[in-house]
C-alpha cells in the first residue's frame, strides 16, 4: 500500500511546502498554508487528453473554422470574440453578488432557445432557489437542465448522459473530487477539478464555463495555474452602488483580450448597454471646473467618459494623491509633469481624480484628459462643454501619438462634440470627418492654451 504523505499548500498562490509556515514565501500572505494529504503516485488521468497523439507536420494539419455558439447577447459575444467555441474552457470571476450567476443563467436561456442542450450545475444553490431566480428573470426552456451537485464524479456521469453542448459549473470552489483528500476549495481540489473539466471539454467538444471566486484584492482565488489551464478568463466587475456591470476579458485564445461588455442591472436581470458613452456622460455637469471628456479605446470600441479632478489646499505636510478608476502612479507622474514643465505649484494641494461612473481606464491615451482636468481644477476654469482631449503625455511635457484616432473622433462626433484635441502626429494618414474640428498639439502647454484660451 502506498505511503500517504502530507504537504502544506498556500490557498492564495499554490506554493507547496513540506512543513507549515505562518507566512507564504511566494505571495507573502499570512495564515494561508493548509495541510493536504497526497499520494506518491498521483492520478494523472485527469490531465491526459488523448491516448493516440502522434507528432504531425504543421503543413499537413488542416484547420476548419468551427461554428461558434451564438449566445444572442451581443455584449457577451463581443467579449468572447464572436461566441462560445465548442470544446473551450471558460473561467468567469467576479465579486460576490455582482451578477455572475444571473449573466450565465440568462445566457443559458438564450443558448437553449436555439435548440442547444445546456446543463447548469450549481454547488451553492438548491434547485428550487435556481427556479425562483429563473422565474424572476422569465427563464423557462425545454433544453435547459438544472443539477445541484458538487461531487465531480457524479457531475461527469450526468454530462455523459445529458450530452449538452454547453455546461456551466457554479462554482469551481464548491466542487470536489473524491480521489483527493483535501476539502472543497483547497488548492489541490481546485486544480484537479479544473484539470478534469478541461479533459471533458477537450475530449467531448462540450464548452464548459466555470465560475471562480475572487479574493479581497479582486484576483481569482486559488493557484495561478487555474488561469493558465483555461482558454478564456473573464472578469465581471462593477460598483455595488451603480447599476451597470462591466465584463472584461483578460485572457482569450479565440479573440481579443481588450474587449469589454457593458450591462445594466435591472429587475428583469442584466440588460445590454449598446451605447456606453451616452450612459457615462448622461450626468456630466456643464461649466464646472475640474471636468474633461476623453475617448478611451476598450478593445475595438471607443468609449467616451468623463474624468473629474478636485484640488484643494492641504493641511498635511505631505499632500494626498487619490485616484479612482485610474492608475494612481500615473496620476502622480502627470502632476509632476505639470509642476516641472508648466510651473503649476501643486505641492500644497490635495488631489482627487476620478473616472465618473466607476469605470476603470488603463490606457495611456487618457493622460491629456487627466492633465486638463487637474489644470482646470487648479485654475478654477471650466473647459469647453463640447471638447474632447486624447493623448499620451511624456516626461518632457510632449503629447505623444495614440492608436485608433479615427474611431475615437467618429464616436465624439456621434455624441455631438465639436472639437477634439489630439497629438499632432495623429493628424496625418486619415480623413477628418465633416462637422467636427480636430486640433493637433505637440505639448501639454499647447493643449491647455486651447482648452482655456478658446
Q: Residues marked as binding for ATP?
A: 94-101
Q: Kindly give, in sequence order, each residue whose CB lies less than 8 Å from that of residue 64, ignoring residues fewer than 6 positions away.
A: none
C-alpha dihedral, 381 to 325 to 286 to 245, nearest 10°: 180
Residue 401 sits at φ, ψ, to 5 deg, of -70, 160
What span, in angstroms and rounded, lies between the C-alpha atoms of 291 and 282?
Answer: 14
CB 296: neighbour CB atoms within 10 A? 24
Per the CB < 8 A criterion, the answer to whether 177 and 153 are in contact is: yes
What span, in angstroms and rounded, lies between the C-alpha atoms of 382 and 232?
Answer: 43
Find where cell 472584461 sits: 248
Q: Is the peptide bond before 171 cis (omega within 30 degrees of 0)?
A: yes
- For residue 177, how many C-alpha atoms fall within 13 Å in the half-sphere facing its CB? 20
| Partners of 296 in the β-ladder | 303
If residue 342 lies in a helix (H) or strand (E), which one and from where to where? helix 328-342
As annotated, the binding site includes 94-101
Grid cell of 32 as nine digits:
494561508
Residue 308: DSSP 8-state: E
| Partners of 91 in the β-ladder | 210, 233
What span, in angstroms and rounded, lies between the C-alpha atoms of 200 and 51?
Answer: 14
| Partners of 17 in the β-ladder | 8
Find where cell 492608475 sits: 327
Q: Strand 5-10 relative to strand 144-148: parallel, antiparallel, unpaired?
A: unpaired
What span, in angstroms and rounded, lies between the C-alpha atoms of 309 and 238?
Answer: 21
What span, in angstroms and rounded, lies between the C-alpha atoms of 194 and 192?
Answer: 5
Per the CB < 8 A criterion, the answer to whether 259 and 90 are in contact is: no
Per the CB < 8 A criterion, the answer to whether 175 and 185 are in contact is: no
Per the CB < 8 A criterion, the answer to whether 298 and 257 are in contact is: no
Helix, coil or strand: residue 110: helix
Q: What are the angstrom distances between the C-alpha of 15 and each of 44, 46, 121, 129, 173?
A: 20, 21, 30, 37, 18
Residue 313 sits at φ, ψ, to 5 deg, of -55, 135
Amino acid at each position: 500500500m502506498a505511503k500517504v504523505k502530507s504537504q502544506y499548500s498556500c490557498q492564495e498562490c499554490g506554493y507547496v511546502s513540506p512543513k507549515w509556515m505562518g507566512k507564504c514565501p511566494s505571495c507573502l500572505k499570512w495564515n494561508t498554508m493548509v495541510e493536504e494529504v497526497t499520494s506518491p503516485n498521483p492520478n494523472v488521468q485527469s490531465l491526459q487528453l488523448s491516448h493516440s497523439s502522434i507528432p504531425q507536420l504543421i503543413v499537413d494539419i488542416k484547420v476548419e473554422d468551427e461554428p461558434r455558439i451564438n449566445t444572442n447577447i451581443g455584449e457577451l459575444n463581443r467579449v468572447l470574440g464572436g461566441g462560445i467555441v465548442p470544446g473551450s474552457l471558460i473561467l468567469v470571476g467576479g465579486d460576490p453578488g455582482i451578477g455572475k450567476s444571473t449573466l450565465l443563467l440568462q445566457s443559458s436561456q438564450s443558448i437553449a432557445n436555439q435548440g442547444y442542450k445546456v446543463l447548469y450545475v450549481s454547488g451553492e444553490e438548491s434547485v428550487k432557489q435556481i427556479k425562483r431566480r429563473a422565474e424572476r428573470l422569465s427563464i423557462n426552456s425545454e433544453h435547459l437542465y438544472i443539477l445541484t451537485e458538487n461531487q465531480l464524479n457524479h457531475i461527469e456521469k450526468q454530462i455523459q448522459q445529458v450530452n449538452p453542448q454547453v455546461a456551466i459549473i457554479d462554482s469551481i470552489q464548491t466542487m470536489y473530487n473524491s480521489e483527493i483528500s483535501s476539502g472543497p476549495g483547497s488548492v489541490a481540489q481546485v486544480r484537479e477539478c479544473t484539470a478534469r473539466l478541461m479533459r471533458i471539454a477537450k475530449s467531448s467538444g462540450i464548452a464548459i464555463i466555470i465560475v471562480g471566486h475572487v479574493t479581497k484584492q479582486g484576483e481569482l482565488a486559488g493557484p495561478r495555474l487555474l488561469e493558465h489551464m483555461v482558454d478564456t478568463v473573464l472578469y465581471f466587475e462593477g460598483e455595488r452602488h451603480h447599476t451597470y456591470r462591466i465584463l472584461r476579458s483578460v485572457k482569450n485564445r479565440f479573440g481579443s483580450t481588450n474587449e469589454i461588455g457593458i450591462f445594466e442591472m435591472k429587475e428583469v436581470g442584466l440588460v445590454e448597454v449598446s451605447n456606453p458613452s451616452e450612459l457615462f456622460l448622461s450626468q456630466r455637469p456643464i461649466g464646472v471646473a475640474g471636468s474633461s471628456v476623453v475617448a478611451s479605446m476598450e478593445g475595438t470600441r471607443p468609449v467616451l467618459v468623463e474624468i473629474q479632478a478636485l484640488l484643494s489646499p492641504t493641511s498635511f505636510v505631505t499632500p494626498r494623491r487619490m485616484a479612482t478608476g485610474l492608475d494612481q502612479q500615473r496620476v502622480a507622474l502627470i502632476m509632476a509633469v505639470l509642476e516641472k514643465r508648466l510651473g503649476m505649484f501643486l505641492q500644497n494641494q490635495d488631489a482627487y481624480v476620478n473616472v465618473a461612473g466607476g469605470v476603470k481606464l488603463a490606457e495611456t491615451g487618457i493622460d491629456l484628459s487627466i492633465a486638463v482636468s487637474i489644470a482646470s481644477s487648479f485654475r478654477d476654469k471650466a473647459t469647453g462643454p463640447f471638447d474632447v482631449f486624447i493623448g499620451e503625455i511624456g516626461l518632457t511635457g510632449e503629447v505623444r501619438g495614440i492608436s485608433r484616432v479615427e474611431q475615437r473622433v467618429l464616436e465624439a462626433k456621434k455624441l455631438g462634440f465639436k472639437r477634439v484635441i489630439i497629438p499632432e502626429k495623429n493628424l496625418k494618414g486619415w480623413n477628418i470627418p465633416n462637422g467636427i474640428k480636430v486640433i493637433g498639439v505637440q505639448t501639454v502647454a499647447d493643449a491647455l492654451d486651447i482648452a482655456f484660451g478658446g
